[in-house]
Amino acid sequence: MEYIIIVISAIFVNNIVLSKFLGICPFIGVSARIETSIGMSGAVMFVMTIATLVTYLIQTYLLDKLGIGFMQTITFILVIAFLVQLVEIILKKVSPSLYQALGIFLPLITTNCAVLGVALMSVQNNFNLMESVVFAIANSIGFGLALIIFAGLREHLELADVPEPFRGVPIAFVVAGLLAMAFMGFAGIV
């Protein structure tokens, strides 16, 4: 039951992009087409889950044990940067087709604040190992959902006659605001 609450809350109620404002850069940057946004969501899901798992282990067995919690930010960002590189190398070797699909998005993920944010949040919420992993997967699904819906909206937006100063990014923000408003309808489920 607890897991279901974590999942529903992370995907709909406290959606990572639309209500926590993490990962806005890829949300605006790679949402022009549905295919690229699916690729990005896949890559984020992959890295976010592994990163949260590894940072959880580091936090519990290294930082807490040694009492060096102040090293958290530095350690986590290095671990994430390292993991992204590792995932890239392994994918290239093991599954070239998946690498082809996710390849260009992987380096971008290092500076995706959603990954670091989810790792930090699961430490702050005192989740155990299983909860952290579920939290990471749910958040990455929430990210993917928001990104893909938004990409669909933007594809349609291309056909619309938008006033000149609004063209491009500004109208995307206004649409994102409306989408966030729609997601607010989920508030109160959990």
Give the distance, in angstroms, between the CA of residue 112 and the centroid of all CA atoms in the same chain: 7
Closest CA to 28 of 157, 172, 164, 149: 172
Closest CA to 23 of 45, 4, 5, 6: 45
Is position 23 an interface residue for other proteins (rule: CB under 8 A)? Answer: yes
The Cβ-side half-sphere exposure at 31, using a 13 Å CA radius, reads 27
Q: Which stretch binds other proteins (CB under 8 A): 1-9, 41-49, 54-62, 167-175?
A: 167-175
Which of 13, 21, 36, 152 is in the footprint of other proteins by CB under 8 A?
21
Measured from the CB atom, the residue of 38 and 120 that comes closer to other proteins is: 120
Is position 10 an interface residue for other proteins (rule: CB under 8 A)? Answer: no
Between CA 133 and CA 12 the distance in angstroms is 18
| Tokens, residue 38 | 């699916």
Is position 66 an interface residue for other proteins (rule: CB under 8 A)? Answer: no
Which of 6, 7, 22, 137 is in the footprint of other proteins by CB under 8 A?
22
Is position 26 an interface residue for other proteins (rule: CB under 8 A)? Answer: no
* Distinct helix (H) and strand (E) counts, the chain: 10, 0
| Sites of contact with other proteins (CB under 8 A) | 18-25, 28, 70-74, 77-78, 81, 110-113, 116-117, 120-121, 124, 165-166, 169-174, 176-178, 180-181, 184
